[in-house]
């Protein structure tokens, strides 16, 4: 079985941007700490996991979820211009390494990753590991798909399979969107159901499995407080479920294992490293 490493590009770039000091600059004294950090994290995981296949996925444009809910991610200010500038420096390095980069206008990286992972699973013979700091992707965990979730240390990450997710959250992967529909998500401005917290959502899903089944059997909820909260928040729960559900069939996204094979000519990559001042990364090239 071949191992595929899918990298959530902006998630890891943001992590690198805030983990390293902006004093790390290129030959023109421009900050490149996010570029360096991203590549360092990538090289660390390639060395540890030894994937035969690698791809990076990026967000592009305004997400279609804003058409469903105008306030989706309203609390965010968009991509930091400084991060965007460094991503623009990073992408040519990945291209020189012949690493495929996926994006689709209107779709978030989560949706594309979910699509690629589903296609890889359907093809068979591929074990997919997703490197991302976005917990939404816990919903795509499956027999051949796991999530590598970064911890506080920049290059450290915790591997989530279904057993670890259940141990930590008390739910199964297919319940992640339902859980988020009840709890909400302040980072994405998904409202959830006011009055239903994490523990309550877990308890409800352990009993009723899905949001739909929960509302079909609402009279069976023993707690009057929770039952009333759910009644008041019915429309919000259904809206939140739509927002939290990942798309697994993004148009024009196709997984081709031949394209994802990690093989490249070092010379073009080293030329980028020369311009970026990344001498220490030369020895770590996978």
The CATH number of residue 196's host domain is: 1.10.150.20
Q: Are residues 29 and 114 in the same domain?
A: yes
Is 183 in contact with 197 (CB distance < 8 Å)? yes
Q: Is 167 inside a domain boundary?
A: no
pLDDT tens series, the chain, 286 aa: 999 999 999 999 999 999 999 999 998 999 999 999 999 999 999 999 999 999 999 999 889 999 998 888 876 666 788 999 999 999 999 999 999 999 999 999 999 999 999 999 999 999 999 999 999 999 999 999 999 999 876 668 999 999 999 999 999 999 999 999 999 999 899 999 999 999 999 999 999 999 999 999 999 999 999 999 999 999 999 999 999 999 999 999 999 999 999 999 999 999 999 999 999 999 999 9
pLDDT for res 78: 63
pLDDT attached to residue 254: 98
26 & 128 share domain: yes
CA nearest to 15, candidates 43, 31, 34:
34
How far is Cα 40 from Cα 42, in angstroms, rounded to an integer?
5
What is the domain count for the chain?
2
The residue assigned the tokens 């996925």 is 57
pLDDT at 71: 83
Claim to verify: residue 97 and residue 218 sit in the same structural domain? no
Indicate if 147 and 64 belong to the same structural domain: yes
Q: Which residues pair with 2 in a beta bridge?
A: 126
Domain identity same for 73 and 184? no
- DSSP string of 28-80, one letter each residue: TS-B-HHHHHHHHHHHHHHHHH--SEEEEE---SS-THHHH-TTTTTT---S-
Position 77 scores a pLDDT of 60
Q: What angle do CA 93, 273, 112 make, to 5 degrees?
A: 20
Domain residues for the domain of 239 are 173-244
Sheet containing 2-8: give its strands across.
Answer: 101-102, 53-57, 2-8, 126-131, 145-150, 157-160
Residues 255 and 229 in one domain: no
Same domain, 22 and 70: yes
Residues ≥6 apart with Cβ < 8 Å to 83: 10, 13, 14, 17, 34
Tell me: do 187 and 219 sit in the same domain: yes
**What pLDDT score was predicted for residue 79?**
74
Distance of alpha carbon 59 from alpha carbon 188, whole angstroms: 14
- 186 lies in some domain: yes
214 and 268 belong to one structural domain: no
Output the domain CATH number for residue 113: 3.40.50.1010
- The whole-angstrom separation of Cα 236 and Cα 6 is 32
Residue 244 to residue 150: CA distance in whole angstroms:
21
Is the residue at 166 inside a domain? no
Burial 46-77 (b: 16+ CB within 10 A, else e): beebebbbbbbbbbbeebebeeebeebbeeee
Which residues, other chains included, contact 175 with Cβ-Cβ below 8 Å and sequence gap of 6+?
205, 209, 210
| 286 CB-contact burial (10 Å; exposed 0-12 / middle 13-18 / buried 19+) | middle
Does 230 lie in the same domain as 272? no
């Amino acid at each position: 079985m071949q191992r595929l490493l899918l990298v959530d590009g902006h998630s890891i770039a943001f992590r690198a941007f805030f983990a390293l000091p902006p004093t790390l600059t290129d030959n023109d004294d421009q900050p490149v700490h996010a570029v360096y950090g991203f590549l360092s994290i990538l090289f660390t995981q390639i060395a540890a996991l030894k994937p035969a296949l690698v791809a990076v996925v990026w967000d592009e444009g305004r997400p279609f979820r804003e058409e469903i809910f105008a306030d989706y991610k309203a609390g965010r200010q968009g991509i930091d211009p400084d991060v965007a500038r460094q991503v623009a420096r990073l992408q040519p390095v990945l291209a020189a390494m012949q690493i495929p980069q996926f994006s689709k206008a209107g779709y978030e990286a989560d949706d594309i990753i979910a699509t690629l992972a589903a296609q890889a699973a359907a093809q068979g013979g591929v074990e997919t590991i997703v490197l991302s700091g976005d917990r939404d992707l816990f919903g795509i965990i499956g027999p051949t798909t796991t999530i590598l979730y970064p911890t506080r240390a920049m290059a450290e990450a915790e591997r989530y399979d279904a057993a670890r997710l259940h141990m930590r959250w008390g739910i199964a992967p297919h319940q992640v969107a339902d859980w988020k529909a009840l709890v909400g998500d302040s980072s994405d401005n998904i409202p959830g159901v006011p009055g239903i917290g994490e523990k309550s959502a877990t308890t409800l899903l352990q009993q009723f499995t899905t949001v739909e089944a929960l509302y079909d059997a609402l009279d069976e909820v023993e707690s009057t407080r929770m039952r009333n909260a759910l009644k008041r928040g019915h429309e919000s729960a259904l809206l939140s479920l739509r927002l939290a559900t990942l798309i697994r069939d993004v148009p024009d996204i196709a997984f081709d294992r031949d394209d994802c094979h990690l093989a490249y000519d070092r010379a073009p990559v080293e030329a980028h490293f020369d311009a970026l001042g990344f001498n220490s990364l030369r020895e770590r090239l996978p």
